[in-house]
Amino acid sequence: MFNLPILLLLLPILGCFFVMTARKDAENAYHISLLTVGSGIFVILRLFAELNLQQTERQFIHRLDWLSESNIYLSFGFDTFSLMLLFGVYVAFLIGFVGLQKNSRKNKSLLAWGLYFLWNMTCFLSANDMISFYIFFAAMPVPIFMLVGNFGNIKKSVNLYLFFIFNFAAILIFLCALLIVYKFYHGNLPLQEIALINMPKHAAEIVWSGVCLSLLARIPIWPFHYWISALASNIKNPLVYIITCLLPLSGLYGFMRFWQVTIAESVRPYVWGLVIFCLITIIFITLIGIAHKDFLYKLFAYMTIYYLLFLLAEVLLSFVLLADTLQMNIAYSLFIFLLVTSSLIVFDLRMEQECIDKKCDYRGILAHMPKRAKIFTLFILVALGLPISSMFWNNFIIISALFNFSFVIGTMVMFAILLITVSMLFELYIMRDLKITKSAEEQIEDISQYNLAFFAAILGVILLSFFDPLWFVL
C-alpha cells in the first residue's frame, strides 16, 4: 500500500521530471501534467477520507532527519485546513492546464516550471517545522520569476526587478529571524512551539516583526502591492496568471499559521499599523479597479480585496473568535475563491485571444458565443456573492464578525467589496455590444463540448459546497 502523504509530496516533482523527458513535438508533456494534477486531486480526496476531522492537530506527520547532531530535520503533516487549501490549489492548476492554448501545451518549460511551483506549494502548505516552512517559502518565487520572465509578456523589466528585490529581501529577513530563533533554541522545532521559546522582549519583537514583514511582501498590500499588480496586468497566459495570483496565498497562509499560536505578545500592539495599511490598500485598489477598463485588472482588484479581507479577519478576529473556527471559515471561502477566480481568468484570456486571432472587438464576443457567455456569467455571479456556495455563507460570517469588532472597518470593507463587484457586474452589460465584423463573426467558435462539461462540473462542485463544504469526504 502506498504511503499517501509521501506520494502527494512527491507527485509534482516526479511529474516535472517526466515532463522534461517527454517528446517535444507532441502534447505528451501536457498529458503528463494533467495526469499529475489529477492524481494529486485523487490522493487529496483519499487523505480527506482517512483524516480525523475532529482533530485540530497535524496528522500523517512524517519526519526526515537531516543533521541529527544539530537537531535539524524536515517534518511534514496535514490537517483539514491545509488539505482544503491544497485541494483548491490543485483544482486551480487543473483549470489553468485546461485553459492553455494548443501552442502552449507543447511547451515543456512552461509545464515543468508550473509543476515545480506546485511542488513548492504542496510542501509549503504541509510543512510542520520551522526549517521546512522557510525552505519552500524561499523557493517559491523562483518558478514564478522564470514563468513571468519567459511567458508573461512583460514589457518593462523593472517590474521583474521589483519582484526579485521584494522577495529576496523578504527571504533574507525571514532567514535572519529564524537564525535568532535557532540561537535561543539550538535546533529546529515545530511551528506551533515557537512561541514557547524564552526570548528577551526586544529579540521577540525583532523576530516577529521580521516574520510579518516577510509574509507581507507576498501579499498585495501597500507598498508591496506594486510588483504583483504590475506583473499581473500584462500576463496573457492563463496558467502563469493563476500561478502569480497564488503567490499571495503563501503570505496569507503564513499569517494564519503564525499569528494565532506563535506570535509574541509584545508584537500584538502593532497590529493596528497593519490594519491601517490593509484599509489603505483596499480603498486604493478598489478605485483603480473601477477606473480600469481591463476586466482582468478588475478581477485582480477583486482578488486583492478578498486576500486582505481574510488577512484582516485573521489579525483582528483572532481576539474574539476561536482560531480553528475562523480558519476553517476562511479555508472554505478560499477553496471556492480559487475555483471561481481561476475559471474567470481562463475564460477572459481565452475570449480575448479569440478576438485577437479573429481581429474582432472583444466587447462583443459574448453575443456570438452563447454557451461560453452563460458559463462565464454564472462564474461572475458566484464571484459577486450569489448564495450557491460555501463562499457566500463563510464570507457573510467573517464580514459580520468584522462589523461586530469595528463598525468603521466593516463598513469600509463592505463598501469596497460592493464597488468592485458592481464594476465586475457592469462588465457583463458592456460585453453584449455587437461591434464585430461579418468575416470574424463567421469564424468565431464557441466553447467546445469538452470544456463546457469541465466547467459545468466545476460549477457543480461549487453548488454542492453550499450544502456541505466537505461533501467530498467519504
- Kindly write down the DSSP assignment for every residue of 104-119, as one continuous string: GGG-HHHHHHHHHHHH
Residues 198-215: b if buried by 16+ CB within 10 A, e if exposed: ebeeebbbbbbbbbbebb
Whether residue 347 lies inside any domain: the answer is yes
Q: Are 265 and 390 in contact (CB under 8 A)?
A: no
Q: What is the largest CA-CA distance in the chain?
A: 75
Q: What is the pLDDT of residues 241-259, one digit of tens each?
A: 999 889 889 989 888 877 7
Backbone angles phi, psi at 61, to 5 degrees: -75, 130
Whole-angstrom distance, CA of residue 111 vs CA of residue 115? 6
Q: How confident is the model at residue 396 (pLDDT cuts 50, 70, 90)?
A: confident
Q: Taking a C-beta distance cutoff of 8 angstroms, is the pair 8, 57 a contact?
A: no
The answer to whether residues 222 and 283 touch, using CB atoms and an 8 Å cutoff, is no
Residue 199 lies in a domain: no
Quote the mean pLDDT of the chain. 81
Looking at the domain assignment, is residue 390 inside a domain?
yes
Q: Can you give the residue range of the structural domain that contains 402?
A: 318-474
Residue-level pLDDT at 121:
94
Pairwise CA distance, residues 403 & 412, whole Å: 10
439, pLDDT greater than 60:
no
Task: Give the pLDDT of residue 86.
Answer: 94
Q: Confidence band (pLDDT; 50, 70, 90) for 384?
A: confident
pLDDT category of residue 123 using cuts at 50, 70 and 90: very high
Provide the number of structural domains found in the chain.
1
Question: Looking at the domain assignment, is residue 163 inside a domain?
Answer: no
Q: Does residue 150 lie within any of the structural domains?
A: no
Half-sphere exposure (CA, 13 Å, Cβ side) for 157? 2
DSSP one-letter code for 143: H
**Rounded to the nearest 10 degrees, how much is the dihedral formed by the CA atoms of 196, 201, 203, 209?**
90
Give the model's pLDDT for residue 156.
Answer: 55
Q: Is residue 140 part of a domain?
A: no
Residue 177 lies in a domain: no
pLDDT digits (tens, 9 = 90+) for 341-370: 999 998 888 877 777 776 666 556 666 777
One-letter identity of residue 442? E
Inside any domain, residue 371: yes
